[in-house]
């Protein structure tokens, strides 16, 4: 009887230990990182910084696969349907992960249910920018300028319908009583190019793509969405500071398909946070992306942020009666 029970225990051990052993061996081959944005976008820049750090730490390539389109849904859906073995990750931005299910009648994924949150990278706003020759220097002057023109004669750009830039401007329009036309672009690079070229008079664009252009004097920043000023532009006030309350933040984040090993999730989280606490790495990230804050959250805390943001952004979408096909 003792021998039989001992044999049964030995046979059971590999099954009980299998997840731990698999996680310990991870990664033993390249890891794919899906980015639901185009090359050169703020998300792409952030993803490449993170992937480079992870590759050095874990000794395997973390290979970026850009899958832009449909306001981030194409890449996000691909990640949601990938095996949850730790070899496909998603590096994305807040709008794609938490806003789409409020904007669209049919979304092929749930930003909370279908993913395991790994790590939040940064918290900050988007940037409201104008060409250098537009005669406005802050939000009050901008609102007065728009109201001096006939309704809908001015347009604004963002990096897509339902993007963070689109919804930030819609919040501004609703509170200030502005009537403007939205011009959606495929990515932030195209927005910035047309703004500098004078094709559009104003845009809400991502911090990572716009900050270098503002610092180089190619465009002017007049407001920041969210509660934080940008360290590199200390004199540019937030929307809330200028009388238009808007404190929701943008963020970048890494996710895995739901059910991915907690050990893998935890190891990635700890490594990214360890990197961000290193002064030289921190300086590189803040300069490249214009991040205002770097909250160090556990996977569980980041998961709660995702659920909260789905609810709060959804309320803005509903209030503005914004629906996309």
- CATH 3.40.190.10 maps onto the chain at 127-242
b (16+ CB within 10 A) / e for 41-52: bbbbbbbbbbbe
Query: Is the Cβ–Cβ distance between 131 and 198 less than 8 Å?
Result: yes
- CATH T-level assignment (fold) for domain 31-124+249-319: D-Maltodextrin-Binding Protein; domain 2 (3.40.190)
- Higher local confidence (pLDDT), 251 or 5: 251
Question: pLDDT digits over 69-91, tens only?
Answer: 888 899 999 999 999 999 999 99
222-224-226 Cα angle (round to 5): 160
- CATH 3.40.190.150 maps onto the chain at 31-124+249-319
Question: pLDDT digits over 147-175, tens only?
Answer: 999 999 999 999 888 788 888 998 899 89
pTM of the shown model: 0.75
Which residue, 249, 95, 92, 266, is CA-closest to 164?
95
Could you tell me which CATH class the domain 127-242 is placed in? alpha beta
pLDDT value of residue 248: 86
- Higher local confidence (pLDDT), 274 or 14: 274
Q: How far apart are alpha carbons 120 and 182 in whole angstroms?
A: 29
Q: How far apart are alpha carbons 1 and 10 in whole angstroms?
A: 14
């Amino acid at each position: 009887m003792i021998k039989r029970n001992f044999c049964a225990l030995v046979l059971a051990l590999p099954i009980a230990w299998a997840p731990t052993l698999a996680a310990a061996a991870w990664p033993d081959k390249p890891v794919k990182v899906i980015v639901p944005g185009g090359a050169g976008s703020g998300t792409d820049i952030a993803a490449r910084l993170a992937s480079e750090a992870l590759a050095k730490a874990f000794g395997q390539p973390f290979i970026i696969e850009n899958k832009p389109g449909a306001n981030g849904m194409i890449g996000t859906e691909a990640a949601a349907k990938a095996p949850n073995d730790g070899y496909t990750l998603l590096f994305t931005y807040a709008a794609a992960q938490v806003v789409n299910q409020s904007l669209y009648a049919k979304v092929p994924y749930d930003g909370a249910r279908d993913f395991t949150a790994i790590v939040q990278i940064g918290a900050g706003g988007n940037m409201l920018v104008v060409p250098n020759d537009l005669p406005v220097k802050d939000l009050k002057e901008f609102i007065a300028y728009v109201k001096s023109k006939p309704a809908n004669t001015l347009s604004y750009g963002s990096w897509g319908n339902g993007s963070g830039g689109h919804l930030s401007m819609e919040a501004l329009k609703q509170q200030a009583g502005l009537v403007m036309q939205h011009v959606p672009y495929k990515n932030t690079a195209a927005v910035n190019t047309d703004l500098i070229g004078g094709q559009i008079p104003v845009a809400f664009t991502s911090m990572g793509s716009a900050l270098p252009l503002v610092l180089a004097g190619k465009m002017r920043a007049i407001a920041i969405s969210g509660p934080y000023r940008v360290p590199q532009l200390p004199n540019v006030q937030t929307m809330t500071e200028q009388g238009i309350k808007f404190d929701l933040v943008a963020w970048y984040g890494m996710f895995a398909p739901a059910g991915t090993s907690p050990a893998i999730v935890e190891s990635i989280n700890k490594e990214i946070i360890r990197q961000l606490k290193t002064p030289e790495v921190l300086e590189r990230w803040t300069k490249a992306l214009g991040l205002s804050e770097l909250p160090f959250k556990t996977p569980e805390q980041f998961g709660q942020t995702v659920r909260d943001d789905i609810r709060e952004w959804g309320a803005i979408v509903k209030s503005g009666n914004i629906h996309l096909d």
